[in-house]
Amino acid sequence: MQPGDYRNASSRLNTLAVGTVLAVTIMSSALRAAEPRVDGIAAGDWEGAHKAAFEAAERLMRSSNVVGMSLAVVDGDRVVWADGLGRADDGTKVAASPRTIYRAGGISALLTITAALQLVDAGLIDLDSPVRKYLPGFKVRPRFPGAREILVRDLMTHHSGLPHTVNKGSRGTRPGSFTELVDALQEESPLLPPGTAFSPSEAAVTLLGLIVQTVAQRDFVPYMRQTLLAPLGMENAGFAVERERSNFGARGHRKGKSEEEPGLRDVPAVGLNASVLDLARFASMTLGGGRLGDREFLRPATAAEMLRPQNANVPMAFDMRVGFGWIGWAFLGLSFPGAGPVWHMSGDTLDFHSMILVLPSQGLAVVVMANSAGSEAAVSRVAEETMVAALQAKSGWRRPEPLMPQPDGPELSESELAAWEGDWATVTGYVRIFRKGDSLRCAAFGRTFNLVPREDGRLAVRLKLAGLIPVSLGPFERMGLSREIVDGREILVAEADGTRMVAGERVRPAPVSAAWAGRLGHYVVTNPGTDLLLVEESELKIERGVLLVEFEMPRLTGDLRIRLPLVPLSDDEAVLGGIGTGLGDMFRVVTLPDGISGLRYSGYLLGLKKR
- The DSSP annotation for 155-179 comes to HHTT-S---S---TTTEESSPPPGG
498 and 560 belong to one structural domain: no
The closest of 143, 389, 349, 178 to 262, measured between CA atoms, is: 349
| Higher-confidence position of 392 and 581 | 392
Q: How far apart are CA 248 and CA 534, in angstroms?
A: 29
Q: pLDDT (tens digit, 9 = 90+) per residue, 553-582?
A: 777 666 677 889 999 999 999 999 988 777
Domain that holds residue 490: 414-507
Residues in Cβ contact with 15 at an 8 Å cutoff, skipping those fewer than 6 apart? 163, 164, 165, 167, 576, 581, 582, 585, 602
Q: Give pLDDT, residue 16.
A: 38
Write down the mean pLDDT value for the chain: 90
Q: Give pLDDT, residue 557.
A: 66
Q: How far apart are CA 303 and CA 588, in angstroms?
A: 42
520 and 476 belong to one structural domain: no
496 and 550 belong to one structural domain: no
Q: Give pLDDT, residue 284.
A: 98
* 422 assigned to some structural domain: yes
* 593 assigned to some structural domain: yes
562 and 489 belong to one structural domain: no
For strands 422-426 and 499-507, give the pairing: antiparallel
pLDDT class for 470, splitting at 50, 70, 90?
confident
**Beta carbons of 505 and 577 less than 8 angstroms apart:** yes
Question: How many beta carbons lie within 10 A of that of residue 255, not counting itself?
Answer: 10
Average pLDDT over residues 270-279: 98
- Residue that is last in its domain, among 479, 507, 535: 507
pLDDT class for 400, splitting at 50, 70, 90?
confident
Q: Based on the structure, what is the number of domains in the chain?
A: 2
Residues in Cβ contact with 112 at an 8 Å cutoff, skipping those fewer than 6 apart? 205, 208, 209, 212, 224, 268, 269
Q: Give pLDDT, residue 28.
A: 43
The closest of 312, 506, 513, 358 to 426, measured between CA atoms, is: 506
Residues in Cβ contact with 189 at an 8 Å cutoff, skipping those fewer than 6 apart? 140, 141, 142, 143, 163, 575, 586
**Beta carbons of 106 and 206 less than 8 angstroms apart:** no
453 and 520 belong to one structural domain: no
Q: Give pLDDT, residue 532.
A: 87
Q: How far apart are CA 68 and CA 61, in angstroms?
A: 8
Average pLDDT over residues 380-402: 94
Max mean pLDDT among 1-10, 193-202, 224-233, 528-537 falls in 224-233
Q: How far apart are CA 155 and CA 134, in angstroms?
A: 13
What is the Cβ-side half-sphere exposure of residue 254, based on CA atoms within 13 angstroms? 11
> Torsion over CA of 261, 264, 267 and 273, rounded to 10 degrees?
10
Max mean pLDDT among 267-281, 308-322, 492-506 falls in 267-281
* 428 assigned to some structural domain: yes
* 282 assigned to some structural domain: no
Residue 600, domain CATH: 2.40.128
473 and 545 belong to one structural domain: no
> Torsion over CA of 141, 146, 151 and 153, rounded to 10 degrees?
-120
Q: How far apart are CA 147 and CA 275, in angstroms?
A: 41
* 76 assigned to some structural domain: no
Task: Tell me the sheet residues that pair with 447.
Answer: 444
Q: Give pLDDT, residue 310.
A: 95
Question: 45-59, 86-100, 308-322, 344-358: which has the minimum mean pLDDT?
Answer: 308-322
* 480 assigned to some structural domain: yes
- Residue that is last in its domain, among 469, 490, 507: 507
Q: Give pLDDT, residue 36.
A: 56
496 and 457 belong to one structural domain: yes
Q: Give pLDDT, residue 30.
A: 42
Q: Give pLDDT, residue 31.
A: 41
Q: How many residues does the chain have?
A: 611
Q: What is the CA radius of gyration of the chain?
A: 23
- Residue that is last in its domain, among 489, 507, 525: 507
495 and 530 belong to one structural domain: no
> Torsion over CA of 553, 555, 560 and 566, rounded to 10 degrees?
-20
Q: Give pLDDT, residue 345.
A: 95
What single-letter DSSP state applies at residue 546?
A: E
Q: Give pLDDT, residue 27.
A: 40
Q: Give pLDDT, residue 20.
A: 37
Q: Does pLDDT of 587 surpass 60?
A: yes
* 457 assigned to some structural domain: yes
Q: pLDDT (tens digit, 9 = 90+) per residue, 120-165?
A: 999 999 999 999 999 999 999 999 999 999 999 999 999 999 999 9
Burial of 595 (0-12, 13-18, 19+ CB in 10 A): exposed
**Beta carbons of 254 and 372 less than 8 angstroms apart:** yes
544 and 496 belong to one structural domain: no
488 and 454 belong to one structural domain: yes
Q: pLDDT (tens digit, 9 = 90+) per residue, 22-32?
A: 334 444 444 44
Which phi and psi (to 5°) does residue 549 adopt?
-110, 130
446 and 499 belong to one structural domain: yes
Cα distances (Å, whole numbers) of residue 307 to 228, 342, 609: 19, 10, 49
* 208 assigned to some structural domain: no
482 and 543 belong to one structural domain: no
Q: pLDDT (tens digit, 9 = 90+) per residue, 325-348?
A: 999 877 777 888 889 889 999 999
